[in-house]
Amino acid sequence: MKTYIAYCGLNCETCEARIATMHNDDALREKVAKLWSELNGVEITPEMINCTGCRIDGVKTPYCESLCPIRQCAMERKVSTCGTCAEVRTCEKAGMILGNNEEARQNLGVERGKII
């Protein structure tokens, strides 16, 4: 499995927060902060848009670092990704992503018909 696949199956390599971090792109940080603020109904500042990737050592966005229930669960269970967890097909947390994201399911090798 690729190193930049998050616990939930999302591809961190395509995440604009990671791209902004890797290229030290303040304009992209501002764009992402504005979009994420609008989508989530909370204030997200450009300074919060720093992330090296979900499963990679280094800086994370505040959400990814300590608020993402999927990441927290996977780390507690000590699984490499949700795809290796025996409960992935019935997990409400993983279902938030896997229930409607074909690419994430493919990245984890989880079939659509078996997700809650």
**Would you say 12 and 56 are in contact if contact means Cβ atoms under 8 Å apart?**
yes
Domains of the chain, residue spans: 12-114
pTM reported for the whole predicted model: 0.88
**What is the model's pLDDT at position 17?**
97
**Would you say 88 and 108 are in contact if contact means Cβ atoms under 8 Å apart?**
yes
* C-alpha dihedral, 96 to 67 to 69 to 10, nearest 10°: 50
Per-residue pLDDT tens over the stretch 8-35: 999 999 999 999 999 999 999 999 999 9
Q: Where does residue 16 rank: exposed (0-12), middle (13-18), buried (19+ CB within 10 A)?
A: middle
